[in-house]
Every structure is written in C-alpha cells, then in structure tokens.
Amino acid sequence: MSTRWKARATSHVERACPRARETVSDSTLHVIPTDPQVAPSVPEETRALAFLRSRFAHVDCQRFDDPVFVDAGQSFDRVYCPSCGAELELDWWARQMDAAHEGAFTDLSVRVPCCGNDSSLNDLRYEMPQGFARFTLSIREPGRDLAAAELRELEQLLGLALRVVWART
Ligand SMILES: [Zn+2]
C-alpha cells in the first residue's frame, strides 16, 4: 500500500495533536463536515470552539486549502460499498487514494468495482468512520464519546452536517 497520502494523514493528526504519542492508547476525536469542501465562518468556528472547550480540556481546530484525509488510525479495518454493501478490497481502495492524492484530494469521485455505481472516497462506508475535510475540530483524549445532543448543537453552531472520526494511534 502506498504511504504518500498515509504519511500526510498521519502528519496532519500529529500537527493537530503534538502530544498524541505520549502513550500507546492515545485517541483523538475529530469532528468534520460531511461535505469535504466546506468550512464554517470564523464566528461560527469561534462559537463551536467555545462550546467544546467548556466540555473538554484539549480542543483545537484547523483549516486547509484542500481537503485532507482524516483517518481513523488503527481503528480503520474495512471499507464497504455504500450502494450494495459489498466489502471493497483495500488494495483497490489504496489505488483510488493514490489517484485522488495526485489531485490534492480535490476530486474524490470513484466508480466502485462491485456494482459499478458512482461514489466518492468520502462516501464509502468505512469501519471505523473516516473522511475528508477542509475543516477539523479535534478533541485530544476526550475520555468519552460526543453525545448525540452535543453533536446536534455543534451542527447548529456551525451550520453544517457533521461526521465524527475517532482516530486511535
Ligand atoms: Zn457496490
């Protein structure tokens, strides 16, 4: 499997969480828009940060010119077709990631080999969930999951539909 985009994804997590490797069981909870191209306004971002920082100790956010791959780390195990549910070969997936990485992840479209449907690398069903984003909210060592009500509140504050990515290293 190619390591070029993987290296970029890992360095992204390390930049966001510089002390993420102090112990072997570290984890970071990323909250990203479901749409990989969008980012909130600065006032929306400020409100979302204040909301999370009132609940968690280590909260940060980042913006990117082009989408970055926000990966689940060691929790990523399998990937499935969102149309027919077939499990996809990781080698096929890695080749699509290589191709998309060539274009700085600006074009994430793929045609899945199982049923031939058009999809997106962002919309494949990952176990555990991961995705692409130009904006990330990151909670290092949150100690718990984000409650459903907290996620809904964040979506309202940011005006965006959100996805949670647990990154475990
Ligand atoms: Zn399929």
For 5-58, give the secondary structure using H, E and C: HHHHHHHHHHHHCCCCCCCCCCEEEEEEECCCCCCCCHHHHHHHHHHHHCCCCC
Number of domains in the chain: 1
Distance of CA 149 to the CA centre of its chain: 20
Residue 111 in domain:
yes
Other C-beta atoms within 10 Å of 87: how many?
Answer: 12
Q: 116: left (phi > 0), else alpha (psi -120 to 50), else beta?
A: left
pTM: 0.85
Residue 105 in domain:
yes
Band of residue 9 on the pLDDT scale cut at 50, 70, 90: low
User: What separation, in Å, do the N-terminal and C-terminal C-alpha atoms of the chain show?
Assistant: 18
- For residue 131, the model assigns a pLDDT of 98
pLDDT in tens, 113-140: 999 999 999 999 999 999 999 999 999 9
Neighbours of ion ligand 1 (CB under 5 A): 81, 83-84, 86, 112, 114-115
Q: How far apart are the CA of 131 and the centre of ligand 1, in A?
A: 19
Q: How far apart are the CA of 111 and the centre of ligand 1, in A?
A: 9
Residue 103 in domain:
yes
Residues paired with residue 73 on neighbouring β-strands, in sequence order = 168
Residue 21 in domain:
no
